Amino acid sequence: MGNGFEKDDFFKIDPELHLIGEMETIRHFPGVQMWWRAIDNIRLPLMLGMKPSLLEGLDPKEITKQEDPEVILEYMDKYGVDIGCLLPESMMDTTGFTSRWMSNGDMAKVVEAHPDRFLYQPNVSPIKFKGIKNTIWELEYWVKEKGAKIFKFYPPEDTYINDPELWPFYEKAQELGIVLDIHTGFCWVPPGKSKHALPIQLDDVARDFPELKIVAFHMGYPYCDDLNMVAMGHPNVYLCLSLLIP
């Protein structure tokens, strides 16, 4: 398979394949420019600590933004990933809440072009900002009409994970039996608010909704110990090491 990766019999699913959409139409927003400057700043620290063998023969495209989502398939094949959950970025805080980076509908087009390799992962953010009732409607639509099974909530652009106003949404998510991915820890890139995603807040949600399957993205970094404690007490909280390359 190249780059030292051998084909094996393990089934691999990547729950966090980001779709960012076309930047040209929103690049003028100061928040968008701030976001990408931060990405440039964190790229090198993220790469530090990787095994040298993983960097050998690394295609430059792998660490730069690609406009064509079809490129994902090329690297799924390279690294032996069988199924990818496609996640359209919202990041409405970067545009002053005037527009999303990529819609769930745009994501669906890519999934439906390769249904054997991709799964829907609608981004329901920002939940509170666009309205709880609207979000619940959207959740039900994707589950009942499209068969979606996994969703993403990005608190840094919205509100605290344990904001009581989100309880009806969590209740509906539990009722529908979905997997809910939640960004935890620092938001990595401004203008998102890190205080909205502290992993200790998951304790409240997991306690009140014990049947809701929650995946905590990024291991709650740098509050990994806090997240570990939450997960030990709540079997419905699962840990994800995404983005923690070293």
Q: Give the whole-angstrom CA distance, residue 195 versus residue 48.
A: 26
Q: Give the whole-angstrom CA distance, residue 44 versus residue 236.
A: 34
DSSP track, 34-90: HHHHHHHHHHHHHHTT--HHHHTT--GGGGS--S-TTHHHHHHHHHT--EEEEEE--
Count the Cβ atoms, other than its own, within 10 Å of residue 28.
9
- Tokens in use for 26? 């929103």
Count the Cβ atoms, other than its own, within 10 Å of residue 209.
19
For position 133, which CATH number holds?
Answer: 3.20.20.140
Cα–Cα distances in Å, from 109 out to 19, 38, 95, 180, 203?
12, 29, 24, 21, 36
- Tokens in use for 49? 């600590």
Can you give the pLDDT of all 246 residues of the chain as single tens digits?
444 456 778 999 999 899 998 899 999 999 999 999 998 888 777 777 677 776 677 777 777 777 787 888 988 998 899 999 999 999 999 999 999 999 999 999 999 999 999 999 999 999 999 999 999 999 999 999 999 999 999 999 999 999 999 999 999 999 999 999 999 999 989 999 999 999 999 999 999 999 999 999 999 999 999 999 999 999 999 999 887 765
Residue type, 143: V
The separation between CA 209 and the C-alpha centre of its own chain, rounded to angstroms, equals: 21
Domain holding 228, by residue range, is 13-239
Could you tell me if residue 134 is inside a domain? yes
Residues 6+ apart with CB under 8 A from 231: 216, 237, 238, 239
pLDDT recorded at residue 1: 40
Count the Cβ atoms, other than its own, within 10 Å of residue 30.
11
Could you tell me if residue 193 is inside a domain? yes
Could you tell me if residue 6 is inside a domain? no
Could you tell me if residue 2 is inside a domain? no
Could you tell me if residue 22 is inside a domain? yes
**Would the pTM of this model clear 0.85, i.e. be above it?**
yes
Could you tell me if residue 244 is inside a domain? no
Count the Cβ atoms, other than its own, within 10 Å of residue 88.
25
Residues of 114-136 as b/e, b for ≥16 C-beta within 10 angstroms? eeebbbbbbbbbbbbebeeeebb
Residue 188, classed as helix, strand or coil, is coil
Could you tell me if residue 83 is inside a domain? yes
- Tokens in use for 149? 């099974």
Could you tell me if residue 185 is inside a domain? yes
Number of structural domains (the chain) is 1
